[in-house]
Structure formats: structure tokens, C-alpha cells
Amino acid sequence: MQGRAAGAGLLLLALTGCAPAVQVPVQAHPVQVWEGTGRVLLREQGYRLTFTADPRTHLLSGTLENRSSGDRFQATGTLLPGPDGAELTAHITAGNGARLSASVLGLGVSGLALKSDALLSGRVAGEVFRGALRVNGVAYPVELRRVR
């Protein structure tokens, strides 16, 4: 009896080794594009936020483009669903942007970023994001609308 059970186990093992592997497809997260304006230092600026968000982890990754100046920043954060919309929080960084290195009479700076980091936060309700872009401790209102 033990011989039969062992033989059946080996046969089952051999058959499962020949079975095709089941591959779970990796689903691409849809790209979201939002455009709108914000008022920074008394000037209206045009912005485009492009990102993907993982529906399982709620992690967000993309770019924020200042369409008025042509500057582009990295955006990383979260898009947390809620009962009446989603909370978006993204750290905005210049990444590998231009840096200043200068000295005068032996005193100076090295590797100072020319663009400040910022925090974009607010609420997505339907097709509209309303929030603030906090730069150097000052919050500026931003409103973006989904374009695709």
C-alpha cells in the first residue's frame, strides 16, 4: 500500500512539473493627467500633474510641470481613497536639476539646488483637484482638472 501511495505521489509531482506555469499579468496603472493653475507670489502659474497611482498601495509617482516657466519636477506621494473623494499628497522635488556652486574669497556654497522642493496636497473630488502647493513654508492655492 505504501508503494502505491509513493508511486501516485511521484506521478502527481511529475505531472505538475510538466504543467504550464500560470502567469498573473502585471496590470499597468493608468496615467492620470491634471492641468490647471495656481497663484504663486501674486502671479498665476499654469501646472500639469502627470502620475500613476497603484490602487493596492496607493503610492503615486509622476511629474509636476510648471507650464509657465517650463520647469519639471518629480512627484512622489500617495493618493488615498475616501468616502467623498481622494486625498492627494505629493512631495515635489527638483531631482537632478541645476545646482549652484560658487565661492567668493574662499567662502561659498556647493551643490545648492536652484529650485525649492515643495509639498502638493489637497482633495480630488470627481474631476477636480483643489489644494495647495507649499513652497518654503508658504501655501499657494492650486486647482487642477483631469484631462485624461
Q: What is the pLDDT of residues 46-93, one digit of tens each?
A: 999 999 999 999 999 999 999 998 999 999 999 999 998 999 999 999
Query: pTM higher than 0.85, yes or no?
Result: no
Burial class for 60, CB neighbours closer than 10 Å (0-12, 13-18, 19+)? buried
- Was domain 29-146 assigned CATH 2.60.40.420? no
Residue 4's H or E segment, with its range, is helix 2-18
Is pLDDT above 80 for 27? no
**Closest by alpha carbon to 64, among 46, 81, 45, 49?**
49
Angle subtended at Cα 143 by Cα 142 and Cα 148, rounded to the nearest 5 degrees: 130
